[in-house]
Amino acid sequence: MSDEQSIELVERNQLPGKTAELKAGGWRIVQISSVPVADGQEITYSFDKEYRLKSLRTTVPDADPVLPTITGAYFAAFTYENELQDLLGLKVQGLPLDFKGNFYRKAMNAPLASAKPDGKAG
Amino acid sequence: MKLGMPGMVLRSAATRPATRRFPAEIRPAFAATRGRITMDISKCNFCTLCQLRCPTGAILVNKQEKTWQIDRMRCILCAACVAVCTRKCPTMETGYAPPVSERRESLVRFTQAAAPNPAGEPGRA
Amino acid sequence: MGTRTVIPFGPQHPVLPEPVHLDLVMEDERIVDAIPSLGYVHRGLEKLAAKKDFNDMVFVSERICGICSFIHSLAYSTAIETIMKVEVPERAQYLRVMWAEMSRVHSHLLWLGLAADALGYESLFMHSWRVREKVLDVIEETSGGRVIFGTCKIGGVRRDVEPAVLEKTLKELETIEFECSEIVHVFAGDPSVHRRVAGVGVLSKDDAYALGAVGPTLRASGVNWDARKLGYAAYGKLEWEPVVETGCDILARVLVRAKEIFQSIKLIRQAIQKMPAGPVEVRVTGNPSGETITRVEQPRGELVYHIQANGTKNLARFRVRTPTFANIPPLVKMLPGCELADVPIIVLSIDPCISCTER
């Protein structure tokens, strides 16, 4: 349930710094997910501490699908970032355990990448 | 007194097995068990609400030929058709659909005619 | 420095309920590193949300997993109800709690059986599953299906349960509770079980928190965190406390799950006794528009549903983060340093539900 939730918009290059702050503050990583928006993807990083949920949100344009990794602060994020690479076709820079798009065995490349904002998948 | 594992094993050896001797003993189904969908075709007015509500597309209604067909292998026993029908034609029975050896035998068709067939018959795909 | 070999574990392995692959890098008999590889049951359910009506997605979400099915549909319905601001009637909330806790009892009994089987203790496995059959009978009597309940929907539940059936459920629960106590007595006290699980698969408290572990894996390492404390459904109105152990090894995880069975039985009793009379659903019309992140507690841990809807009957984004997905990094941390014979029970100790992980 959404008891206490907050969303903060950040730039892509601020992510490693912000996540290091959260790690020092005792926040636990919950999930990383994506939502398709007009010509890009909106990536949401959610963290939890004592039942409060805080999310960082950043936009990745389709023209430049690159993200810095947050595994410096949260090593466990490597599973989520590999999934982003697989399903959306993004490239995450600096990933220590990089499956290069083969984390899931799937029939097509980047199945969720071309989903347009009106909900119809490409 | 709590029995340890040796005690439990000895008790199982001395008492009746926990398993049923199927098919000699059949467990009676509960009243709420969802087994298979069957149809009272005489009340149907072919409004196709059930076909629209079915999440898997298992129901096929043909108003011209006055037939109602269900693919029992596609049916997920959600009972949405039972809930949405205004005349309460489909019902959920507690017995499960029997296994079939060919895919088309899972299609069961009910035809509303002058002499309706209440048991259903294997249908065409 | 010995020579290193790579041994594949899975996808077919007798202890695994679902296929997962691990490449184990070994030096003599000890594991040095483990590299996971998923994807054997990836069904692309997140993409299916773009094609199906959002009302029908309740049925799809229930079928993401066979063991924790009801709680998936509960999370989905709660998420859509949060977006559409629907107030679910009280009786429906209590019924949902009752079914969710029955799902938890069944899942933990299944896991105890699999853990016993992984240790080679087949009679204990059969006894756990014998008691689980009684739980499945109770579930079938109240909801109609043994594993897929089909009772949750947006706006409430789809069927009510008569008082006579609830009375019978309470009586059955007494038998189930007694038989579970016998089985748990063996798990907690038997010396052969102890030799295999005590001190194995250690995950320290800091590691568990930093790597994002959830569920019994987190609570067995001493962290008091249970998503049911967020108060969804009727959990805010019932009295209970999360079960926490400090052992940090597999024995602690066994004890957490065993104690949670008894806690769930007490919760079911409370829910049945406190259940008010009244309607069990509200009618919901229209399409959802908005976004939510909903968290519920599955038997395996914290389940996160991130749903975004844009006013049409298809959802824009349906994202499920399952607890086993979050428990994979702790698994990769637990494996180095252990022996090859301990790998099956360590992999099983996080309660892997791979079909959830890879929807």
Domain housing B92: 29-96+107-113
Which residues in chain C (124-153) have CB-CB distances under 8 A to chain A? none
Distance from CA of A118 to the nearest CA of C (A): 7
CA distance B78 to C59: 8
When pLDDT is cut at 50, 70 and 90, the band that residue C109 belongs to is: very high
> Would you give the distance in Å from CA C219 to the centre of its chain?
14
**pTM attached to this predicted model:** 0.88
**The pLDDT value given to residue A121:** 36
- The answer, yes or no, to whether residue B116 has pLDDT greater than 60, is no
Contact C302 A115 (CB under 8 A): no
Decide: B and C in contact? Rule: 3+ Cβ pairs under 8 Å: yes
Identify the chains in contact with A, defined as 3+ C-beta pairs within 8 A. Answer: C
- The answer, yes or no, to whether residue B3 has pLDDT greater than 80, is no
pLDDT in tens, A61-111: 888 888 888 888 888 888 888 888 877 778 888 887 777 767 776 667 766
Residue-averaged pLDDT of chain A: 76
**Is B121 part of any domain?**
no
- Probe site for chain A from C319, C331, C334 (most A CB atoms < 10 A): C319
The answer to whether residue C177 neighbours chain B at the CB level (below 8 Å) is no
When pLDDT is cut at 50, 70 and 90, the band that residue A2 belongs to is: very low
**The pLDDT value given to residue C104:** 92
Q: Which helix (H) or strand (E) holds C211?
A: none
CB C322 within 8 A of CB C290: no
**CATH code, A12:** 3.30.460.80
Decide: A and B in contact? Rule: 3+ Cβ pairs under 8 Å: no
The winner for highest mean pLDDT among B83-87, C99-103, C120-124 is: C99-103
The answer to whether residue C21 neighbours chain A at the CB level (below 8 Å) is no
In A, which residues are within 8 Å of C57 by CB distance? Answer: none
When pLDDT is cut at 50, 70 and 90, the band that residue A115 belongs to is: very low
The answer to whether residue C143 neighbours chain B at the CB level (below 8 Å) is yes
- Which of these ranges, B119-123, C3-7, C192-196, C285-289, has the smallest mean pLDDT? B119-123
Q: What are phi and psi of B62, to 5 degrees?
A: -125, 110
**The pLDDT value given to residue B78:** 85
CA distance C315 to C126: 43
**The pLDDT value given to residue A1:** 41
CA distance C13 to C224: 33
Report how many domains make up chain A: 1
- Here the tokens at position B49 are 């609400």
Contact C42 A103 (CB under 8 A): no
Partner residue opposite A28 with nearest CB, options C42, C209, C315: C209
Q: Which residue has the higher pLDDT, C104 or A22?
A: C104
- Which of these ranges, C1-5, C28-32, C332-336, has the smallest mean pLDDT? C1-5
- The answer, yes or no, to whether residue B118 has pLDDT greater than 60, is no
**The pLDDT value given to residue A119:** 37
**The pLDDT value given to residue B1:** 53
Distance from CA of A71 to the nearest CA of C (A): 10
Which residues in chain C (304-343) have CB-CB distances under 8 A to chain A? 304, 306, 308, 310, 312, 314-317, 319, 321, 325-326, 328-330
- Residues in B whose CB is inside 8 Å of some CB of C read 2-5, 8-9, 12, 18, 30, 32-34, 55, 76-79, 83, 92
Place of tokens 């959306």: A88
Contact B5 C123 (CB under 8 A): yes
Partner residue opposite C317 with nearest CB, options A35, A106, A118: A35
**The pLDDT value given to residue B99:** 84
- Return the domain boundaries, chain C: 4-357
pLDDT in tens, C45-86: 877 888 888 888 888 888 888 888 899 999 999 998 888 888
- The mean per-residue pLDDT over the stretch C225-232 comes to 84
CB C156 within 8 A of CB C278: no
**Is B14 part of any domain?**
no
**The pLDDT value given to residue C232:** 82
Residue-averaged pLDDT of chain B: 80
- State whether the Cα torsion C151-C156-C158-C163 is positive or negative: positive
**The pLDDT value given to residue C108:** 92
Environment class of C183 (CB within 10 Å of its CB; exposed 0-12, middle 13-18, buried 19+): buried
- The answer, yes or no, to whether residue C191 has pLDDT greater than 50, is yes
Partner residue opposite B34 with nearest CB, options C127, C145, C165: C145
- The mean per-residue pLDDT over the stretch C131-144 comes to 89
**The pLDDT value given to residue A118:** 37
- The answer, yes or no, to whether residue A114 has pLDDT greater than 70, is no
**CATH code, B57:** 3.30.70.3270
**Is A112 part of any domain?**
no
- The answer, yes or no, to whether residue C39 has pLDDT greater than 80, is no
**Is B45 part of any domain?**
yes
Contact C158 B55 (CB under 8 A): no
- The answer, yes or no, to whether residue B96 has pLDDT greater than 60, is yes
Partner residue opposite C59 with nearest CB, options B4, B78, B83: B78
- The answer, yes or no, to whether residue B123 has pLDDT greater than 60, is no
Partner residue opposite B5 with nearest CB, options C63, C124, C145: C124
Place of tokens 């429906």: C92
- The answer, yes or no, to whether residue A122 has pLDDT greater than 60, is no
**The pLDDT value given to residue C277:** 86
Partner residue opposite C144 with nearest CB, options B8, B12, B32: B32
- Here the tokens at position C189 are 């006290």
Best CA proximity match to C203, nearest among C213, C188, C190: C213
- The mean per-residue pLDDT over the stretch C94-113 comes to 91
When pLDDT is cut at 50, 70 and 90, the band that residue B115 belongs to is: very low
Report how many domains make up chain B: 1
Contact B76 C59 (CB under 8 A): yes
Domain housing A28: 5-93
Chain pair B-C, CB pairs under 8 angstroms: 57
Q: How many CB atoms are closer than 10 A to CB B64?
A: 6
Contact C47 A111 (CB under 8 A): yes
- The mean per-residue pLDDT over the stretch A42-57 comes to 85
Which string of DSSP letters, residue by residue, matches C19-47? --EEEEEEETTEEEEEEEE--TT---HHH
The answer to whether residue C297 neighbours chain A at the CB level (below 8 Å) is no
**CATH fold for the domain made of C4-357:** Cytochrome-c3 Hydrogenase; chain B (1.10.645)
- The answer, yes or no, to whether residue B24 has pLDDT greater than 70, is yes
